[in-house]
Structure 1
Amino acid sequence: MTGSTNGSEQQVVDGMSTQHGPRVGRPPHQTGPEELVQTAAMARQFYLEGRSKTEIAEEFGVSRFKVARMLETALNKGLIRLEVRLPADLDAERSDALRTRYNLRHSVVFTSTEQDTGGAETLTRRLGAVAAGLLTEIVADNDVLGLVWGPEIEALGPELTVLARCTVVQLCGVTPLRPADANVVEAVRRAASIARGPAYPIYAPLLLPDGATAQMLRRQPGIAEAVSQFHHVTKAIVTVGAWGPGLSTVYDALSDTERAKYRRRGVCAEVVGQLLDADGHPVAPELTERIIAIGFEELGRVPDVILLADGAERAAATSAALKTGLFNGIVTNTAVAEHLLR
């Protein structure tokens, strides 16, 4: 015999026993009461009080890496629960998905379903309210805010109650089917009043019968003054029209023959009087000379251009508008967002 042991025979390798005997080594880690209360204190300081991991580590006499490990373990085990709560009418997931997909700086999607009551007018009012909230956030002192004309902007006006001191400019004429009086530019005047800044409204139609008439109107003192402000605009709110009755100012202003002609040429959207095909390419350059509105070249130099779009019937038009590359922000509803993400 070469030798014997007291008790059962065993071999030990690197401090750990083989299967022939009881296990020797460090027991599995158990989170004790002290670690639990320390983790809770660290979490409170880090997530609620805004203290850094380095500051917490110094207080508890541990390394910053241990603090990070304890917080991560606590999250994984459910000891800490983080919740992101938004108002029920905002869709955080789709908002961020649109921001990522289209490389946007601003992206806000509000919830809507086919079962929502109130129809298109209610949807437009909700769009206006959300857009007004966004303007309150992003407009800074000395900005020049540009607003197109449209029902969405009219809905935005009454919801706008706070705005930084800025200049407000109307970016296009109005529909010729309504009288060009103070009511159609009320949103521009209201915004300027709230912002305590000058207003530059445009009392003229968006689309004129011919280029000569449009050129004459552009030289009128009030209109010329507004147009001269286009290259100063720093933030713009623009709507999109679809190619159908009641969905586009230009569509409603044209004859049936012209509407059919442009439809055959692939028009599916209208942005500040410019007609676009599904790929976002301008389709009717001949209309440009008849329009009183900011041009795409000027709009492309504006640092922040926000697109407002509501209703499933404008989904394809919204997609075309985003493909122009003019927009770095959007406010829209669930139906449009789902189409864009597909």
Structure 2
Amino acid sequence: MCAERGADVTDPVQAKLLVDVSTDYYLGNRSKVEIAKEHGISRFQVARMLVQARELGIVRIEISPPAHLDGARAGDLAAALGVSHVHIARTGEDGDATRASVAAGLAAVVRERAVRGMTLGVSWSRTVELAARDLAGLPPCDVVQLVGALPVEGSGNSVELIHRFKAQPGVRTWPIWAPLVVDDAATAAGLRRQPEIAQTLDRAGSLDLAVVAIGAWSAHASTVYDLAPEEDRRAGRDAGAVAECSGRLFDDSGAPVRTALDERVVGVTIEQLVRTPEVVAVGYGAEAARGLCAAVRGGFASVLVVDEACARELATICGAGAS
């Protein structure tokens, strides 16, 4: 028996036929010809039943674009977090592909915000380093190095990064000729008093825009954590640190966590970032979400650049309902 358009689907036989045909086609991936032969009807009748099943709500088709193509999802997440903008990049097949995708998004976000005469502060991470390669042609502006060098095998460092910007016409740079972390607090204090470094760190307190990376305070999630001795790692955890930004630890509320490591860092402070009108914070992977939320709560992340995996976890944390 065939259920035609307008047929009475309260008839259990007709209703079951609509369900069976729809199931075979949409879930069983069977052709209309195969379904018609099995039920003793024509393929044209199968086609009409598939239309009727959708009209009656027996079949509901939902198109859900991936997060990096869904502007509404990013907007909902930004509203739920209380930030001005969220950029969601595609999650790649591996960590390197994801980092490249997020870096491209970060470069696009910075280009949109870069204006003549601004003071731009740039921290260092492998993602920020990749993004800098796509930031040629900045308008004339000041670029401030926010952290000392942290050499990582296979990557550059913040000094090399600042040289990329120095090569651009009209761009004036403010470097930090020092490591990010030194062996003792006295050495760090002495470096911070050096005139050129002191000028740069002072300049970090009057930025128009900052670009920073957020990493969870755990293995493989933060370059600083991976290079820190175990006593620094443990001291941070014991003091409530959940994440790190430019070598500065902070807790779930975004408040700075003071340990001996903090005294040995040569770089921007969280307090300086809080005073910055706009801070673009980047992170990827589900593990980065907690730290990004904390940075938002602490007032030093107003624009987020993340991947799809991080966006899903952020939505879970803040109850935005994105997926």
Q: Same fold (TM over 0.5)?
A: yes
Counterpart contact for 2:74–2:87, Cα < 8 Å:
yes
Partner residue in 1 for 2:132: 157
Counterpart contact for 2:115–2:139, Cα < 8 Å:
yes
With normalisation by structure 1, the TM-score equals: 0.67
Unaligned runs of 5+ in 2: 1-64, 317-323
Task: Give the Cα–Cα distance (whole angstroms) in 2 for the partners of residues 170 and 289 of structure 1.
Answer: 19
Q: 2:179 aligns with which of 181, 202, 205?
A: 205
Equivalent position amino acid for 1:185 in 2: V
Alignment of 1:4-153 (within 5 A): 89-112=68-91, 116-117=92-93, 119-153=94-128
- Alpha-carbon offset, residue 336 of structure 1: 0.9
Counterpart contact for 2:249–2:258, Cα < 8 Å:
yes
1:117-141 superposed Cα distances (whole Å, 9 cap, x missing partner): 2x11111111111111111111111
- Alpha-carbon offset, residue 337 of structure 1: 1.1
- Alpha-carbon offset, residue 190 of structure 1: 1.8
- Alpha-carbon offset, residue 237 of structure 1: 0.4
Counterpart contact for 1:91–1:110, Cα < 8 Å:
no
- Alpha-carbon offset, residue 178 of structure 1: 6.2
- Alpha-carbon offset, residue 197 of structure 1: 1.3
Task: Give the Cα–Cα distance (whole angstroms) in 1 for the partners of residues 151 and 105 of structure 2.
Answer: 28
- Alpha-carbon offset, residue 285 of structure 1: 4.7
Counterpart contact for 2:248–2:256, Cα < 8 Å:
yes
SS in 2 for 1:240: strand
- Alpha-carbon offset, residue 87 of structure 1: 11
Task: Give the Cα–Cα distance (whole angstroms) in 2 for the partners of residues 88 and 215 of structure 1.
Answer: 45
Task: Give the Cα–Cα distance (whole angstroms) in 2 for the partners of residues 170 and 276 of structure 1.
Answer: 21
Unaligned runs of 5+ in 1: 1-85
SS in 2 for 1:198: strand
Task: Give the Cα–Cα distance (whole angstroms) in 2 for the partners of residues 296 and 215 of structure 1.
Answer: 17
Counterpart contact for 1:170–1:188, Cα < 8 Å:
yes
Partner residue in 1 for 2:150: 175
SS in 2 for 1:95: helix
Counterpart contact for 1:201–1:223, Cα < 8 Å:
yes
1:192-229 superposed Cα distances (whole Å, 9 cap, x missing partner): 43362111122322122221100111123432232231
Q: 1:254 aligns with which of 203, 228, 231?
A: 228
1:228-264 superposed Cα distances (whole Å, 9 cap, x missing partner): 3112311000111112223223323332233223323
1:298-331 superposed Cα distances (whole Å, 9 cap, x missing partner): 2111111111111223222222222212221111
How many pairs are equivalent?
A: 252
Equivalent position amino acid for 1:225 in 2: Q
Task: Give the Cα–Cα distance (whole angstroms) in 2 for the partners of residues 120 and 195 of structure 1.
Answer: 34
Task: Give the Cα–Cα distance (whole angstroms) in 2 for the partners of residues 291 and 183 of structure 1.
Answer: 15
Over 3 Å counting, the alpha-carbon distance change for 1:95 and 1:188 in structure 2 is farther
1:132-165 superposed Cα distances (whole Å, 9 cap, x missing partner): 1111111111000000011111111111133221
Equivalent position amino acid for 1:145 in 2: L
SS in 2 for 1:341: helix
SS in 2 for 1:124: helix
Pair 1:307-2:307 in alignment: no
SS in 1 for 2:301: coil
Task: Give the Cα–Cα distance (whole angstroms) in 2 for the partners of residues 134 and 151 of structure 1.
Answer: 17
RMSD: 2.5
- Alpha-carbon offset, residue 179 of structure 1: 11
Task: Give the Cα–Cα distance (whole angstroms) in 2 for the partners of residues 219 and 276 of structure 1.
Answer: 25
Partner residue in 1 for 2:290: 316
Pair 1:272-2:246 in alignment: yes
Counterpart contact for 2:118–2:208, Cα < 8 Å:
yes
Partner residue in 2 for 1:50: none
With normalisation by structure 2, the TM-score equals: 0.71
Task: Give the Cα–Cα distance (whole angstroms) in 1 for the partners of residues 87 and 291 of structure 2.
Answer: 18
Partner residue in 1 for 2:314: 340
Task: Give the Cα–Cα distance (whole angstroms) in 1 for the partners of residues 264 and 151 of structure 2.
Answer: 13
Task: Give the Cα–Cα distance (whole angstroms) in 2 for the partners of residues 321 and 311 of structure 1.
Answer: 16
Counterpart contact for 2:249–2:256, Cα < 8 Å:
yes
Partner residue in 2 for 1:240: 214
